[in-house]
C-alpha cells in the first residue's frame, strides 16, 4: 500500500495531508494487477509531486465485478440519502485537505479552491442526498380494468470518466445522482490530477458505503477509460471531457452493448456585451469568465462580442484587467496569482493555438507568450482582427486565450454567436429586458446567463447542444440519466 504525505508550512494551510495512491476497489485500496505507475506533477513548478498506481483492463474488470454484486435495488432510498449526506459532512470536515490536494495537482490557487470547489461539491452531494428517498413513478389512466404505473429503476453499473480541470467537483456531480438513484459506480479520474479524488475514496470508506458501491481506478484514458467504455456489463457512461473523446466513447458503446451515454463536452461560449450594458460589471464578469483557472473551463467565454458604441472603452478595460492578472505564482501564495495550465502538453497545445492566430493574421491586443521559466504559465491573451474561419475562433482552446469581435446590430451578433459547432453556454450583458428575452430564446445553447458569467447551482441542470454533448449535470433533470423507466400493467377485470 502506497501513502503519499505532503507537508505544508504557510499561513494558508499548515500541517500535512496524506493520500493513498493505490486503486480503490471493492471497498479497499489495492495494488494494480499489473504494476504501472504514473507521475503526478505540480503545474506551478513542473516538478513531480508523487506517483500513483495506474489501473489497467484487468483492474477495470474486477472493479465492475465488485460493482455488479452490491447496492442496486436492495438498499432503501433512506439509507442512500443517509450515506450521501454523511459523505458530504466528511468532505466538509476535510475540506482543507481536499482543497490542498486539488491545488497541488490541478494548479488552481488554494483560496479559489477552498472558497468554491469543496463548498460546491458538498452542496451537490447534499442536494442529491435529499433526492434519494423522493424518487417515484406515475400511475397512468388507461381503462377501468387496468392498473398501470411506472417504476424508476437504477441502471446498474455506471462508468464515470472525469477530466483534470475540476477533478473532485466534476466527479461528485456524477456520483451524486448515480448513487442517489441506486446505481454502483466505477470512476476513472484523470491521471493528470487524481489526488483529491483518491482522498474522496478514503472518505467514502469512512462514510460506510458498502464495498463495491464506489470504485475509483485511476489510469490512462486509452487503457482504463477505453476498457470501461467498452465493457458489456456497464449500463451507462457519464463523461466530461473533450468532444474527440466523447465521439470515441459513442463508438465504444455502439461496438459493445449499446450502453447509454451522457456527454458534457467542449464549448466555445459567446460573451456578448451590448452598448447599454453596465460596462464595469460586464468587464469584471468577462474577465473572470475567460481567465479564471487559466481559461481551463468548457464554459469559458472565449468569443467576446462587443457592440461598436462601447468597443474602445471595453477593450481598454479588458486589456488592463488581463495585464493586471499576469502574475504567476504557486497555489499557496498568500494572495491569488495567475493559475498555470495543467501540463507541458497543454502548454505546448496552447502556444500552438497562439501561433496559429498570428499566422492567420489576427492581432494580439495583450499577452501571447509564456510566463516565466518554471511551471506552465501562459499570459492572459486577447486577439483582435479575427475572421470567422480562423482556428482560434472555431476550435475550443481551453486556456487563457480569447478572441474579440466588434459588432453593430443584434442580427449580426446572433448569427456569429450561433455559428459554432458547440452549444454549451452563452453570456449576454444588457439592461434591455426585451433584448435579453429575445437572445435567451434565439441562442443555440443549453445554458444562457444574463449579466453574469457561467456559474453553477446544485438545483439548476446544465448540459450540451450540438457537439457540446447531451444529458444533464445537476438539478432534478440529471436523475433521469441514471434510471430506467419500467411500465407495469395489472389486469384486474378484463377476461377473454
Please identify every residue annotated as catalytic.
264, 298
First-to-final CA distance of the chain: 66
Residue pair 482/154 in contact (Cβ under 8 Å)? The answer is yes
DSSP 209: P
158/260 Cα distance (integer angstroms): 9
Nearest CA to 191 out of 347, 377, 367, 37 is that of 37
- 242 CB-contact burial (10 Å; exposed 0-12 / middle 13-18 / buried 19+): middle
273/269 Cα distance (integer angstroms): 13
Classify strands 401-407 and 303-307 as parallel, antiparallel or unpaired: parallel
User: According to DSSP H, which parts of 46-109 are helical?
Assistant: 57-68, 77-93, 95-106
- 422 CB-contact burial (10 Å; exposed 0-12 / middle 13-18 / buried 19+): buried
In this structure, is the dihedral angle defined by the CA atoms of residues 342, 345, 351 and 354, taken in order, positive or negative?
A: negative
Residue pair 66/55 in contact (Cβ under 8 Å)? The answer is no
212/27 Cα distance (integer angstroms): 6
Find all residues with CB under 8 Å of 200, minimum gap 6, and list them.
91, 98, 168, 171, 172, 216
- 218 CB-contact burial (10 Å; exposed 0-12 / middle 13-18 / buried 19+): buried
479/477 Cα distance (integer angstroms): 5
Nearest CA to 414 out of 380, 386, 439, 390 is that of 439
Please give the distance of CA 395 from its chain centroid, rounded to a whole number: 18
Nearest CA to 272 out of 409, 396, 429 is that of 429
Amino acid at each position: 500500500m502506497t501513502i503519499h504525505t505532503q507537508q505544508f508550512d504557510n499561513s494558508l494551510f499548515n500541517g500535512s495531508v496524506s493520500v493513498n495512491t493505490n486503486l480503490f476497489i471493492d471497498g479497499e485500496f489495492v495494488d494494480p494487477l499489473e504494476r504501472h505507475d504514473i507521475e503526478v506533477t505540480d503545474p506551478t513548478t513542473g516538478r513531480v509531486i508523487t506517483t500513483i498506481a495506474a489501473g489497467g483492463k484487468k483492474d477495470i474488470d474486477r472493479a465492475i465485478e465488485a460493482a455488479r454484486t452490491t447496492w442496486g435495488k436492495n438498499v432503501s432510498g433512506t439509507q442512500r440519502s443517509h450515506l450521501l449526506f454523511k459523505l458530504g459532512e466528511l468532505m466538509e470536515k476535510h475540506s482543507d485537505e481536499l482543497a490542498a490536494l486539488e491545488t497541488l495537482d490541478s494548479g488552481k490557487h488554494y483560496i479559489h479552491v477552498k472558497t468554491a470547489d469543496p463548498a460546491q461539491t458538498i452542496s451537490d452531494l447534499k442536494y442529491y442526498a435529499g433526492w434519494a428517498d423522493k424518487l417515484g413513478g406515475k400511475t397512468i389512466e388507461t381503462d377501468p380494468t387496468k392498473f398501470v404505473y411506472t417504476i424508476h429503476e437504477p441502471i446498474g453499473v455506471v462508468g464515470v470518466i472525469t477530466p483534470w480541470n475540476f477533478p473532485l467537483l466534476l466527479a461528485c456531480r456524477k456520483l451524486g445522482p448515480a448513487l442517489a438513484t441506486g446505481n454502483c459506480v466505477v470512476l476513472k479520474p484523470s491521471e493528470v490530477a487524481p489526488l483529491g479524488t483518491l482522498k474522496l475514496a478514503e472518505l467514502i470508506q469512512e462514510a460506510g458505503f458498502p464495498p463495491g458501491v464506489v470504485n475509483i481506478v485511476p489510469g490512462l484514458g486509452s487503457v482504463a477509460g477505453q476498457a470501461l467504455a467498452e465493457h458489456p456489463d456497464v449500463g451507462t457512461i457519464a463523461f466530461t471531457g473533450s468532444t474527440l473523446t466523447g465521439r470515441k466513447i459513442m463508438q465504444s458503446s455502439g461496438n459493445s452493448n449499446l450502453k447509454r451515454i451522457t456527454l458534457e463536452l467542449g464549448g466555445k461560449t459567446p460573451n456578448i456585451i451590448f452598448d447599454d450594458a453596465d460596462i464595469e460589471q460586464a468587464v469584471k464578469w468577462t474577465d473572470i469568465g475567460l481567465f479564471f483557472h487559466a481559461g481551463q473551463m468548457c464554459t469559458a467565454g472565449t468569443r467576446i462580442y462587443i457592440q461598436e458604441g462601447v468597443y474602445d472603452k471595453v477593450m481598454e478595460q479588458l486589456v488592463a484587467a488581463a495585464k493586471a492578472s499576469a502574475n504567476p505564482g504557486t497555489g499557496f501564495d498568500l494572495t491569488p496569482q495567475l493559475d498555470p495550465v495543467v501540463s507541458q502538453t497543454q502548454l505546448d497545445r496552447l502556444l500552438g493555438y497562439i501561433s496559429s492566430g498570428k499566422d492567420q493574421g489576427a492581432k494580439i491586443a495583450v499577452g501571447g507568450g509564456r510566463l516565466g521559466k518554471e511551471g506552465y504559465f501562459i499570459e492572459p491573451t486577447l486577439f483582435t482582427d479575427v475572421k470567422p474561419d480562423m482556428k482560434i475562433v472555431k476550435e475550443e482552446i481551453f486556456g487563457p486565450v480569447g478572441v474579440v469581435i466588434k459588432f453593430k446590430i443584434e442580427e449580426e451578433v446572433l448569427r456569429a454567436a450561433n455559428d459554432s459547432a458547440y452549444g454549451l453556454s452563452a453570456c449576454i450583458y444588457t439592461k434591455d429586458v426585451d433584448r435579453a428575452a429575445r437572445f435567451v430564446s434565439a441562442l443555440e445553447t443549453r445554458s444562457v446567463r444574463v449579466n453574469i458569467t457561467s456559474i453553477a447551482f446544485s438545483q439548476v441542470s446544465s448540459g450540451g447542444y450540438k457537439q457540446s454533448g447531451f444529458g444533464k449535470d445537476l438539478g432534478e433533470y440529471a436523475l433521469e440519466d441514471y434510471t430506467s423507466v419500467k411500465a407495469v400493467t395489472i389486469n384486474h377485470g378484463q377476461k377473454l
